[in-house]
Chain A
Amino acid sequence: MLNVSRPTVVKLIDDGVLTSRKVGSHRRITLADLLAYRDDMIARRRAVLDQMSRDAEELGLYD
């Protein structure tokens, strides 16, 4: 769902970026939290990619 590796998800949880609770040995993340994080991640990424495109055009990198 996040298109990141399993170790990355674990790191996000350990860093407190994603909230989880333990059920036995498993970590559980609420769907709402996961979707909110995903939407935020995508929005930030697209903003950067759009800015990259504008900057590249201004610099003449496509010429």
Chain B
Amino acid sequence: MSILVAVLDADVLVPILSCDLLLSAFDEDLYRPVVTATILDEVERSLVEHFTHLDPTALRGRVAQVAVALLHHMHDEGDVTAATVATVNHKDRHVVAKRVRRPVTRGELIDQLAGSFPGLAAELLGKRGVTGSNSRTLPYGWPSRLAVATRTSDRRL
């Protein structure tokens, strides 16, 4: 079975909702993530810079949790270009190494996922009947942890 392969750059792992959504989609085997130690270092720096009122140790702990969740999906730096990811995963038909632009609301995030991850779009927007920007309810079957994240659905991230 071919599966979408996507590089999760720091841009998509720093916004908490984006990170939660992508990790949840990965947990449902909707795609195969690729990250590097450098990406996670950048995530850590960005979180510490963004959440200046929080203890950096706690934010580093979050990054460590991301690393554990993505165990087996850490790649060497040299592997992570669109070309070499295609080489590493040469049996996969769909290889995507696009960034999701910084999301604004949950609905817009879904729209961006739809544009950047066609496989996810088919799964999230097709089978589950979610309607992009107009969505205000949690799609049936999404993990409960997203219920927490989507409380912010109408706020700007």
Q: Which of A1-51 contact B (CB under 8 A)?
A: 2-8, 12, 41-42, 44-46, 48-51
Does B104 touch A at the CB level, under 8 Å? no
Q: What is the interface residue range for chain A against chain B?
A: 20 to 34
Does B68 touch A at the CB level, under 8 Å? yes
Q: Mark B44-83, 1 if CB is under 8 A from A, else 0.
A: 0000000100100011011001101101110000000000
What is the distance, in angstroms, from A4's C-beta to the closest C-beta of chain B? 5
Contact of A56 among B29, B88, B143, B148 (CB under 8 A): B148
Interface SS of chain A: helix
Residues of B within 8 A of A60 (CB): 54
Contact of A61 among B51, B71, B72 (CB under 8 A): B51
Q: Residues of A at under 8 Å CB distance from B?
A: 2-8, 12, 41-42, 44-46, 48-53, 55-57, 59-63
